[in-house]
Structure 1
């Protein structure tokens, strides 16, 4: 579990995060939504320890990042997996080498043990016989699955996903969403997903927070997001033609 208490973050005279408090639950897909400029990316970088909040606390399993020494912060980073927006695979490395990279950096496993683990996570994301291929030789959806395998190869306690469906067609995006949720539940990970994709919200939104102008404006789950009367949330949700149709259908059914 990750607990956030009243964090603020400014850059110069611009206050980007304005007192956000929330909890990200273990074993659930916790989703952050909001328009561009809402503070989502800065918030996630604070969670990752890449930015230090000006005030407030980010608490991992009872210990605030701000109270950790250098070794404790290093250990925490080893417990984090990261799925980047574009996958961020190394073009010059084959799939096996890409997935093995975190093990080489952070584990003390032998090479055979590393290879066994690589094959285990590749199988978990439904990829076989791709070890020696380069990223350019596989599809975008397969690249995202490789990136997920790399993110979980070290058995992280925390998984962070930044726009995981960026650039994917709707069917492949749904596959990635479901895979993230399955892995979260299977490994009992605290997963935080940063997205603007309402389809993802409806697929895997177990807990959702909505940010606007650096403030937490709403929180709930996918069953409640269509029922809220929060105008900022409804404006965001129904900016998509698809969800406008869903709203209209719901309104017609209630008449």
Structure 2
């Protein structure tokens, strides 16, 4: 679990985060949504320890990040897995080499133990036959699965995903969403996803935090979002006719 209390951050005197408080729950897919410029990226970078907030606290399983020693902060960051927007794979490394990289950098295991772990996570993301391929030789969806395998190879407590469906076709995006949700539940990870994808919101939004102009405007589940009377949320989520129809069908069924 990650608990955020009254988080503030400004750059050159301009506030970006304006007192955000929320809880990201373990074993659930927690989504951060909002328009460009709402503060989503800065918020996630604060959660990752890449940006230091001006005030407020971020608490990981009872540990307040700002009160930890540099060594403790480093150890905590090693418990975080990250899936980047563009996958961020090393082109010169094979799939196996990309997934092995965090283990070689940080793990205290024998080579055979690391090899076993790599093979396990590649099987988990359905890439058992892709070990020796290079990123340029596989599809965008497969690259994303490699990125997920690399993010979980260290068995993290926290998984962060920045626009994991960026550049993917709708069918592949659904597969990636389902994979992330399955892994979150299977390993009881606290997963935080930064997304613009409304399909992701509807499908796997077990906890949704909607930011607007650096403020937490709304939070709830993907079921709650159908019923909300918050105008800012409705204008953002139901900007397309398709989602307006889906919402109307849901409300009619409830009646």
TM-score of the aligned structures, taking structure 2 as reference length: 0.97
Q: What are structure 2's unaligned runs of at least 5 residues?
A: none
Pairwise CA distance, 1:254: 8.0
Q: How does 1:52-201 map to 2 (within 5 A)?
A: 52-201=52-201
Scaled by the length of structure 1, the TM-score of the pair is: 0.97
Following superposition, the deviation at residue 252 of structure 1 comes to 6.5
CA distance in 1, matches of 2:246, 2:184: 28
Question: 1:83 and 1:57 mapped to 2: Cα distance?
Answer: 24
For 1:244-255, what aligned pairs fall within 5 Å after superposition? 244-250=244-250
Tell me if structure 1 keeps the 8 A contact 2:227–2:251.
no
Residue aligning to 2:7: 7
Aligned length: 255
- Say if 1:253 and 1:12 are closer, same or farther in 2 by CA, change over 3 A: same
For 2:133, what is the secondary structure of its paired residue? Answer: coil
CA distance in 1, matches of 2:203, 2:159: 18
Structure 1 spans left out of the alignment, 5+ residues: none
Task: Give the CA deviation at 1:27.
Answer: 0.6
Q: Aligned with 1:30: secondary structure?
A: strand
Number of the residue aligned with 1:228: 228
Alpha-carbon shift at residue 242 of structure 1 (Å)? 1.8
**For 1:211-236, what per-residue CA distance to the aligned partner results, in whole angstroms no more than 9, with x for missing partners?**
00000010100111010000000000
Structure 1 residues 150 and 251: alpha-carbon distance in aligned structure 2, compared to 1, 3 A threshold: closer
The whole-number CA distance in structure 1 between the counterparts of 2:104 and 2:254 is 58
Give the Cα separation in 1 of the matches to 2:94 and 2:58: 36
Q: Secondary structure of 1:226's match?
A: helix
CA shift, 1:68, in A, is: 0.5
SS of alignment partner, residue 175 of structure 1: helix
**Cα drift, residue 119 of structure 1:** 0.5
CA RMSD of aligned residues (A): 1.2
